[in-house]
Amino acid sequence: MRKLFYAVFLLCVILLSSCLQEGKQASDTKQGELKNVLEFPDATEFLTGWSKENKLVVHLMSDPAYLHPAAFKTTPAVMILQLTQGKLLQTDLAHPQVVPGIVKSLPAVSSDGLQYTFNLLDEARWDDGTPVTAEDVIFTLKVHKCRTVISPNISSYTQNVKSVLVDAANPKIFTLIMKRAYVSNQTFLADIPVLCRAFFDRENMLSHYTFEQLDDSSLHYEHDPKLAAWSNNFNDGKYGNDPAYFYGCGPYKVVQWDRGQSVILQRKENHWTQQLHAANPFLNSYPDQIIFKIMKDENALELEFKAQTFDATNYLPTKVLVDLQKDSSFNLNYHSAFLESYSGTSIVFNMKPDGIHHHKIFDDRSVRRAFALLTPVDQIISVVVLGKATRWPSIISPIRPDFNHDLPLLPYDVNEANRLLDEAGWKDSDRDGVRDKLIDGTKTSLDVTLLIQEQGNLTRDISNMIAESAAQAGFKVTPQFLEQGTLSEQLQSHDFDLGLVSMSYSALQEDYSQLWHSETSQTHGGSNYSGFGNAASDALIDSIKFTLNDSLRHSMSKRLQKIIYDQQPCVFMYSTNRKIIIHRRWGNQRMYSEFPGFILNNLRLISAPANTAALLTDN
């Protein structure tokens, strides 16, 4: 997930002349001035050719793959679940903080930082009309603590929850009791959809287990046949694949899902969110439908935007937007911008291969460092992403306050890579251009597969450049293109040699457990794909998340970055600029550096002037 996925920070933008930037006209902003949010004024004229349909068509590069609210795997899934589910808190996209979701306000916090009291919105209800209560929150947290539940992106974040106390007089008021003061005691809730207990646990099975019992690793509660049956049902793929089993308290519902083609969301009629008196952009539902359409072909994408088929996107190949911004008709119909983001692209190594399906190659730090020196990052940034990216030497963005500036960018150095491989015993014994070595008595070639998400010419160009460069030092790299869901599955099961991945990070304080703690590499479904970690690094990660003093925490974060830098579990490459397009027929337009870059349900179709209504094309 982001997580996965977040301080004032830098932002490089390409602005249109009518752009407002934090309430200022774009003409007051110099090219390259750095901001974290762009705000555009509503169009004052509804142009001929603009569709009057209140249907927002959003472009995706890949299918969401799986929409289980506890076991989602992809960024498109996160975007869709944001619209169909409710969360206690939301990430403020304009600032590094959280804001209320389906609660009345941010929680009251005790002086020791261990108790957080929430009050759910009075209006919040499930689709059958029953209220969302503390019982649902308790159930949700227990789900992610239950070791028989598949919850790869969330489970580690709930381990600090000790218990929940419900107000005796009001089932919508509850207090989270935490084990320790923790940097993410509130922010982790912005990643967790609240689950309906009555829908997912009709027999109330988890009520028989306390939080303490679920935390007890010595308790073999998984042998309880009733709990095993409940877990098997909860993990059933129907809750992530079949819209008939999708259930949430969000303002939209999935009404149609054509795999690899589109996902259609319909606004729920007379929904409780429409009765709210206080404005909350995350709970609005202005478009009647939000239609996600999947398209990867660059040429087709450019044509479709010129034809106004799509209303919005938050990701597309850089060249497509660069070319589109040269077209006057496109600029007349759309707002668009490049924004620096927190999402990082890297090549991850399988540091702990099984030696059977995947050879023991990248278990050697020297081989990992050699491959990093062979990766032409600067060339990729220049040629493939046209300079719209920032190089990363570390696990976090250089624009974060805790970034370790003492870590130099690795150069492209074929000679040094050759030296490291020679020292590690990799030679081209049969003169076929590929190095080899005896491993466990078996001749093993330096022949590896790079898993990469299918995203048209972009990923193909990147993979070709990596393979050609690695070949200069005797590596044979074969790209294998996969859908995002399949790629995630193989990475999580450590079924790979190399994987090109993009991770969504955040401006919020980081808990490194999900990505770098050894526990999240040992369990299938964890996000520590490389297998990095030992007792020392785990202890440092645990200390970071329980240290509230910014200065001390930042110092420890820099130490962790140095350890990971030296161990080279990944080739940290770059953060590409977020590319956002929104059609001008929609009002309330804001673009953010934070993922996902916009709030789709808050976009509102502007009114067509009466004197031009007859001229409009009704698509």
pLDDT digits (tens, 9 = 90+) for 233-255: 999 999 999 999 999 999 999 99
Q: Which residue has the tokens 């983001």?
A: 341
Determine contact, residues 300/456, Cβ cutoff 8 Å: no
User: What is residue 510's predicted lDDT score, i.e. its pLDDT?
Assistant: 75
Residue 479: phi and psi, rounded to 5, are -70, 145
Phi, psi for 587 (deg, rounded to 5): -95, -175
Average pLDDT value for residue range 418-443: 96
Task: Give the torsion through C-alpha atoms of 129, 134, 137, 142, to 10 deg.
Answer: -120
**Residue 259 pLDDT greater than 60, yes or no:** yes
Q: Give, as one character, the DSSP assignment of residue 17.
A: T
- Residue 22, pLDDT > 50, answer no
Does residue 18 have a pLDDT over 50?
no
Taking only the tens place, the pLDDT of each residue in 555-584 is 999 999 999 999 999 999 998 889 999 999
Judged by DSSP in three states, 513 sits in helix
Q: What is 75-222's CATH superfamily?
A: Dipeptide-binding Protein; Domain 1 (3.90.76.10)
Beta-carbon contacts of 202 under 8 Å, excluding residues fewer than 6 positions away, are none
Q: Domain 344-509+569-576, CATH 3.10.105.10 — does that match?
A: yes
Give the integer Cα–Cα distance in Å for 384 and 387. Answer: 8
Distance CA 533, CA 515 (A): 10
Asked if the peptide bond before residue 596 counts as cis, ω within 30 degrees of 0, the response is: yes
| Amino acid 524: pLDDT | 58
Q: Is CATH 3.40.190.10 what the domain over 41-62+245-335+577-615 is classified as, yes or no? A: yes
Domain ranges of the chain: 41-62+245-335+577-615, 75-222, 344-509+569-576
Residues 6+ apart with CB under 8 A from 10: 34, 340, 399
Q: What is the pTM of this model?
A: 0.79
Report the alpha-carbon distance of residue 455 to residue 296 in Å, rounded. 6
Quick check: do 41-62+245-335+577-615 and 344-509+569-576 share a fold?
A: no
Identify the pLDDT of residue 35. Answer: 55
**pLDDT at res. 13:** 30
- pLDDT tens across 184-209, in order? 889 999 989 999 999 999 999 999 99
Least confident range of 414-428, 470-484, 508-522, 571-585? 508-522
